[in-house]
Every structure is written in C-alpha cells, then in structure tokens.
Structure 1
C-alpha cells in the first residue's frame, strides 16, 4: 500500500465518520431528514452509501402511498453522501441535478425501503452518482442519478 493509498483511505474514513456524526447529531437535535422523515444511514464506504426508510404517516401522499418527493429525498441523500465520502477535507457539495425514475408505488404496509448509491465520477468541480431504491422483497421501486456541484474551500 502506497502513501497515496493510505491518504485516500484516511480521507474516506474521515468523511464516513463525519457523515455518521452529522446524522447522529440530527437525530439527537431533531433536525434534518432523519428526524422529519425517518431516513437512516445504514452503512457508508468509499463512494458508497446505504440508507433505509420505514414509511410512516409523514411520508404518504393523498393516495396513501409514499410520496415521490420522499423517495427523491431518500435517493438524493444517499447519492450526495456517496459523493461526500470521496471528497477532501473541507470540500462541500450541493445537488445540481436530480433525476428519479419511479417504477412502482409504495403502500404504507410496514415494508422497509433501502437505497443504495454509488459515486460514478468525482472531479474538482462536479461529481455524479447513481442510486436504486428497493423494497423488503428486493423489488425495484425507483432508480436515478445526480450531478453534484463540488465546492472547494476558499483559498
């Protein structure tokens, strides 16, 4: 393992730790999508995250299915976080574009939704990622992609 490999591993470990702390803080202080919608971080690694959502009364629409905006939020959170794991210290990001394909509706039946996301490209100015939401039976609920604006720290 080279010193560059070690530095990259240290950077990923730092970002994963930071991501975990952000979500835990949000839950403690009742802030963010974890507290409001019930989105939870399951795991994160180099360019990868897995989140889950147990649909609840706060996540449904007028047709008593999970709102598409909630599914998009789950996917946006996972894809942005996958990119975040690959960014250097002090580098921030924001979503430029979000594309979600909804495949099937989700009833409020107690079935957990899982979103796995992978960073596809991480550059100095932009990044891209892909995500997939599946239900407890492994059926595809939605898939999508994002383009991220990478915000370098001020020099």
Structure 2
C-alpha cells in the first residue's frame, strides 16, 4: 500500500464517519429524511452506500402505495451519499439531475425497501452514480442515475 492509498483510505473513512454522524444527529434531533420518512443508512464504503426504508403511513400516496417522490428521495440520498464517500475534505455536492425508472408499486405490506448505490464517475466538477431499490424478496422496484455537481471549497 502506498502513502497515496493510505491517504485515500483515511479520507474515505473520514467521509463515511461524517456521513454516519450526520444521519445519527438527524435522528436524534428529529431532522431530515431519516426522521421524517424513516430512511436509514445501513452501510457505507468507498463509492458505495446502502440505505433502507420500511414503508409507513407517512410515505404513501392517495392510492395507498409508496409515493414515487419518497422512492426518489431514497435513491437520491443513497446515490449522493455514494459520491460523498469519495469526495475530499471540505468538498460538498448537490444533485444536478436525477433519473428514475419505476418498475413496480409498493404497498404497506411490511416489506423493507433497500437502495444500493454506487459512484460511477468522480471528476473535479461533476460526478455520476447509479442506484437500485429492491424489496425484501429482492424484486426490483426502481433503478436510476444521478449527475452531481461537485462543489470545491473556495480559496
């Protein structure tokens, strides 16, 4: 392992810790999508995250299925976080574009939804990621991609 590899590993570890801390704080202080919708971070690593959601009454639409916007939020959170784990200290991001394909609807049957996301490209100004949402039986619910604007620190 080179010193560059060690530095990169330390940065990833730091970003994963920061991501976990942010989500835990949100739950403690009743802030963000974790508190409002029940989205939870399960695991994160270099360029990878896995989040889950147990559908609940706050996540459904008028047809009593999980709202597409909630699924989009789950995927946006996972894909943005996957990119975040690869960013350097002080570098922020925001979503430029989000594309989802909804494959099947989700009812309130107690089935946990899991979203796995992977960073695909990380450049100085933009990044891309892909994500997939599956139900507890492993059936594909939605898949998508994002383009992220990378916000370098000023100075």
TM-score normalised by the shorter chain: which range applies?
A: over 0.9
Q: CA deviation at 1:150?
A: 0.1
- For residues 50-129 of structure 1, the aligned pairs below 5 Å read 50-129=50-129
Tell me how far apart the structure 2 counterparts of residues 18 and 122 of structure 1 sit (CA, whole Å): 19
Give 1:141's aligned residue.
Answer: 141
Q: How many residues align?
A: 155
User: Secondary structure at the residue paired with 1:50?
Assistant: strand
User: Secondary structure at the residue paired with 2:146?
Assistant: strand
Runs (4 or more) in structure 1 with deviation over 6 Å come to none
Q: CA deviation at 1:146?
A: 0.1
In structure 2, runs of 5+ residues without a counterpart are none
1:104-133 CA deviation, whole Å, 9 max, x = no partner?
000011100000000000111000000000
Tell me how far apart the structure 1 counterparts of residues 92 and 34 of structure 2 sit (CA, whole Å): 20
When the two structures are superposed, what TM-score results if normalisation uses the length of structure 1?
1.00
When the two structures are superposed, what TM-score results if normalisation uses the length of structure 2?
1.00
Q: CA deviation at 1:23?
A: 0.1
Tell me how far apart the structure 2 counterparts of residues 103 and 112 of structure 1 sit (CA, whole Å): 16
Q: CA RMSD in A?
A: 0.2
Tell me how far apart the structure 2 counterparts of residues 122 and 19 of structure 1 sit (CA, whole Å): 18
Tell me how far apart the structure 2 counterparts of residues 20 and 131 of structure 1 sit (CA, whole Å): 19
In structure 1, runs of 5+ residues without a counterpart are none
Give 2:9's aligned residue.
Answer: 9
Give 1:21's aligned residue.
Answer: 21
User: Secondary structure at the residue paired with 1:74?
Assistant: helix
Tell me how far apart the structure 2 counterparts of residues 107 and 54 of structure 1 sit (CA, whole Å): 11
Tell me how far apart the structure 2 counterparts of residues 108 and 123 of structure 1 sit (CA, whole Å): 40
Give 1:132's aligned residue.
Answer: 132
Tell me how far apart the structure 1 counterparts of residues 154 and 98 of structure 2 sit (CA, whole Å): 26
1:30-82 CA deviation, whole Å, 9 max, x = no partner?
00000000000000000000000000000000000000000000000000000
